[in-house]
Amino acid sequence: METVGQKVDPQLKARIDSESDATYSSARLWDDGIIPPQHTRRYLGLGLNAAMGGRNQVKPGDTKYGVFRM
């Protein structure tokens, strides 16, 4: 990792490596968490079941809040 012929600080490289880990962002609640590989089919099934249900329809004006984003 070099920029314009200059060596990068080893502490900076270590910090970037540690903050690039998936558990770093999940620990700070920046995402919805990590799904263990053995649970992916179950979570995918739950998501598809919820998407195919068709009963959860929100009519315009029913909600009093905006769009939530992270």
Which of 7-11, 38-42, 64-68: highest mean pLDDT? Answer: 38-42
Q: Which residues contact 22 (CB under 8 A, 6 or more apart)?
A: 34
Residue type, 41: R
Q: Which residue has the tokens 């099934």?
A: 45
Pick the residue with more confidence: 37 or 63?
37
Q: Which residue has the tokens 């970037």?
A: 16
pTM for the whole thing? 0.47
Kindly report, residue by residue over 10-43, the tens digit of the pLDDT. 898 899 999 999 899 889 988 888 888 899 999 8
29: left (phi over 0), alpha (psi -120 to 50) or beta: left
Distance CA 32, CA 26 (A): 7
